[in-house]
Amino acid sequence: MRRNKPNEFVHTCQEIGQVFGLRPKDISNIAKTNSHLVVLDSQCIDCDKIHICHNRAQFNQLKLGSWRCDLCWKALSKRTIQAQPLLEKPVEKESLEEEQKQVFLEYINSYRTTQLTEIPSVTTLNEVDKLLLAATIESLGTDDLKTTISLHDIHSLPLSPFFWLDEHLLQHLFELNLLLLVPEDNFEYININEEQKLEIDYQRATFEFAYDTDDLNKVMIGAKYKKDIHALVADKQFRMWCEDIQLAECLNYLTTRARLNNLEPSITEKLFSIFRSCLAENSVSVMYYVIYRAVEMAAKSSQKSNTTQKHPSSSISSNIELVFGQISTGVCRRNSSFRDDSHPQSAMTKLFFDYVFGMEDCGFYYPLDELFNPYRSQKACGQVIYSMLGSAQSTSYSIKFDDLKVV
């Protein structure tokens, strides 16, 4: 940069590229990969080591007077572990809580520092992760595109059809360091378990985007631009997320219909297996009809005398299987339903289906194979395997509708 002219470089990327026969974009990428910024005004508060920023995100998060280098963080963590037995001794409650809070904050800040050093370049992200990030920006991004709002505070465009998939998506992006911790704003929503791993309340926590506004805008534009559908269809990760979205649509509608009839269905492996079979042949639109009939059958059963609420609720999955069998054998028609206002499209639904296949709400009105088959070879055509949501660690979940939590 010119010393006396702020924001003006001695040579532009285009000029350097002309000299060495490279594109301006290549010069920019080389600079991003190999350059760093020495911040003379920022030093480690423990050892006075000068702060060096390796990317824009680190520079944007720079806090003069409160930075601690990696070696000093490790030393502090070691002292914290050694001092832990002392914290268990009887002391003044207020003093103990304050000391524990400080140790907790330092641990989280250390985690954040590690995140900042491991942010992947936006140019290295695969198309599926870009779609996931774009959905998060679209649904949760604040006006300045610097942070997210919490899932609990969404008032317009849902992130996904079901809260379970919301949390799965945020955790995925957090583990990729595309979403960063903001310790001061989320102290009460973060916990450290016995294995010294972070536990985050993804429903209420907020995050900071790892990239600057320009990069986030490029991700958004790219997600809505015409893509190589053949490549996406061949990507197993893309299919798994599409399967998850359709499963989440069914779970969302099931819980809504059950709640309206004062029922509490159990979300079990058996139910997942039934939904997988149904979705392999039917659209979500048809599944709405199947779920509606299954819940109505359970509701009528609950009105009989000497019947507890638990029995009709547990019969919903078998009712779904019964209605699906009737449709498959031609006993009843394969009726379709329309999407209603209480179950709007989500950001994921639009980006993974509408913008990819170029048809409005096609993830709702078409089975997955009908959308995929025109864009893949016959060898790749096979039965749909709904795995991600269906491979949950626990085999039985109960949904309580007062606060809609899976227990």
- List 267's β-bridge partners, or say none: 397
Residue 372 reports pLDDT greater than 50: yes
- Range in 25-39, 225-239, 338-352, 376-390 the model is least confident about: 376-390
- Range in 16-25, 121-130, 369-378 the model is least confident about: 16-25
Enumerate residues 6+ apart whose C-beta is below 8 A from 151: 140, 159, 163, 166, 167, 170, 202, 203, 204
- Tell me, what's the pLDDT at 195? 79
Residue 207 reports pLDDT greater than 80: yes
| Residue whose token pair is 């001092």 | 83
CA dist., res. 94 & res. 360, Å (int): 57
Enumerate residues 6+ apart whose C-beta is below 8 A from 374: none
Residue 68 reports pLDDT greater than 60: yes
**Mean pLDDT to the nearest integer, 5-13:** 62
| Residue whose token pair is 């209420």 | 204
- Tell me, what's the pLDDT at 79? 54
Check: CB of residue 182 under 8 Å from CB of residue 109.
no
CA dist., res. 270 & res. 278, Å (int): 12
CA dist., res. 114 & res. 198, Å (int): 13
Enumerate residues 6+ apart whose C-beta is below 8 A from 120: 176, 177, 178
- Tell me what the pLDDT averaged over the chain comes to: 81
**Mean pLDDT to the nearest integer, 149-172:** 94
pLDDT tens digits, one per residue of 89-115: 454 556 656 776 777 778 888 888 899
Buried/exposed code over 365-382 (b: 16+ C-beta within 10 A; e: otherwise): bbbbeebbeebbeeeeee
**Mean pLDDT to the nearest integer, 37-64:** 71
- Tell me, what's the pLDDT at 228? 92
> Where exactly are the structural domains of the chain?
36-117, 122-224, 230-406
3-state secondary structure 112-123: HHHHHHCCCCHH
Enumerate residues 6+ apart whose C-beta is below 8 A from 35: none
**Full-prediction pTM beyond 0.85?**
no
**Mean pLDDT to the nearest integer, 379-407:** 44
Check: CB of residue 135 under 8 Å from CB of residue 224.
no
Residue 166 reports pLDDT greater than 80: yes
- Tell me, what's the pLDDT at 397? 42
Query: Which tokens is 216 given?
Result: 């986030």
- Tell me, what's the pLDDT at 156? 86
Q: How confident is the model at residue 398 (pLDDT cuts 50, 70, 90)?
A: very low
Residue 401 reports pLDDT greater than 50: no
- Tell me, what's the pLDDT at 75? 67
